Amino acid sequence: MKGLLNLKSLGLITATAAFMSAPIQAETLRLLTWGGYAPKEVIKDFKKETGISVKVTKSNNEDMISKLRATGGAGFDLAQPSQDRISSAQADFNIYKPIDLNNINAAQIIPSMFEATQKSTTHNGEVYGVPHVWGTSGLVVNRKAAGQVADYTDLCDTSLSGSVSYRLKRPTLIGFAFAMGEDPFAAYNNKSQYQAILNKVEKKLIDCKSNVKAYWSGGDALLNLMRSGEVNAAMAWDAGGWKLNKENKDITFIAPKSGALGWIDTFALPRKTKAEDAAYKWINYVMRPDVAAKITEAAGNFTAAKGSDDYVNETLKAQFKESFSQEAIDNIKWYPPVPAGLEELEGKALDRIKAAS
């Protein structure tokens, strides 16, 4: 009996020792995101502060939807789809769960972006997205050669004949519509009204063809046209304008009077997240202005963190402040979800513009 007790005791001691020597499994946040949005330095500092590890899977909008659709919203704890790709995906595939706004430190977020994202990611009365990284398209201008350009329609000024460029894509249609006093986003759910706006813009862009040096499709091609002086004003993206500004101080990005066109990549909770608390901790951590600045340096785009521009490098800080006053930020036209059928109408308008002599 004594021997049996000794054996039992030995077994208990062995089991206890094995348990105590086994590594403790730290919590891990599985993040489905874009390149540059989770720099190694930020991940390291987050783990140091919270004990939570972050496992990053790089993705894009289509891939995020595909992955979460295949699993019914499982496999990841936090995802970063664009704001116009959430409500429709949720309606069709039920892959996300609502955001508890009480868990978000809203004081860290630029109010206009927080409001815009809530509006565009709401489905059945529930909010599914919080803003993170954003960017815009507007005007890239050589101020010495085309200082009069302040809005999209100024690209049609006769003094700029043969020295303008923009893409034959939907942002051009939308930007010109706003500059012509229309609100295309307000007409999204009325096809006949939207078509009337497209007709007006189509005529304007056909009349403007003599000003166009080239319709750019690749970013490098546009940058080279601006560098060579063949193009003095273009509709393009903010980071491209700032890149040129480093080389030539006469060239920079301008937020148009009628409003730059903005996209926002968000934070969204997959429906079957297993680390929801960690997800909220990550959101609030990376939206601290000093941390957000590190993401801007890595990704090349600014975040919706209030005051983060004060922490980026001096060159980028100066470029941002010159391009975006607070009024210009509040005037950004954020892309809403696109209803079915509109892109077909836009495609036909663009084809007619391209074919016009």
- Taking only the tens place, the pLDDT of each residue in 59-79 is 988 899 999 999 999 999 999
Tell me if 338 sits within 8 A of 169, measured CB to CB: no
Give the three-class secondary structure for 35: coil
Could you give phi then psi for residue 24, rounded to 5 degrees? -75, 130
Instruction: Using alpha carbons, select from 11, 357, 332 the residue that is nearest to residue 209.
Output: 357
Q: Whole-angstrom Cα distance, residue 332 to residue 335? A: 9
Strand, coil or helix: 258: coil
What residue has token string 């004060």? 310
Q: Backbone dihedral region of 12: left (phi > 0), alpha (psi from -120 to 50 degrees) or beta?
A: alpha
Query: In angstroms, what CA-CA distances link 164 with 149, 227, 353?
Result: 11, 13, 16
DSSP-assigned letter for residue 139: E
User: Per-residue confidence of the chain (357 residues) as pLDDT tens digits?
Assistant: 434 344 444 444 444 444 343 333 469 999 999 989 999 999 999 999 999 999 999 998 889 999 999 999 999 999 999 998 899 899 999 999 999 999 999 999 999 899 999 999 999 999 999 999 999 999 999 999 999 999 999 999 999 999 999 999 899 999 999 999 999 999 999 999 999 999 999 999 999 999 999 999 878 899 999 999 999 999 999 988 999 999 999 999 999 999 999 999 999 999 999 999 999 999 999 999 999 999 999 888 899 999 998 899 898 889 988 999 989 999 999 898 888 788 899 999 999 999 997
Q: Residue 15 has what pLDDT?
A: 41
User: Mind listing the domains of the chain with CATH numbers?
Assistant: 28-128+262-326 (3.40.190.10), 137-260+337-355 (3.40.190.10)
CA dist list (Å): 56 to 32, 130, 285, 302: 6, 19, 16, 20
Q: How far is residue 355's CA from residue 205's CA, in Å, rounded to a whole number? A: 12
C-alpha–C-alpha distance, residues 141 and 151, integer Å: 11
Cα dihedral 36, 270, 47, 309 sign: positive
Q: What is the DSSP string of 188-252?
A: TT-HHHHHHHHHHHHHHHHHTGGGEEEE--SHHHHHHHHHHTS-SEEEEEHHHHHHHHHH-TTEE
What's the helix, strand, coil split of the chain in %, to 5?
A: 55, 20, 30
Residue 298: exposed, middle, or buried by beta-carbon count in 10 A (0-12, 13-18, 19+)?
middle
Containing 158, the helix (H) or strand (E) segment is none
Nearest-CA neighbor of 119 among 337, 343, 280, 287?
Answer: 337
Instruction: Retrieve residue 283's tokens.
Output: 């959101």
Task: Tell me phi and psi for residue 192, to 5 degrees.
Answer: -70, -40
What's the pLDDT at 295?
Answer: 95
Q: Which residue has the tokens 């340096």?
A: 297
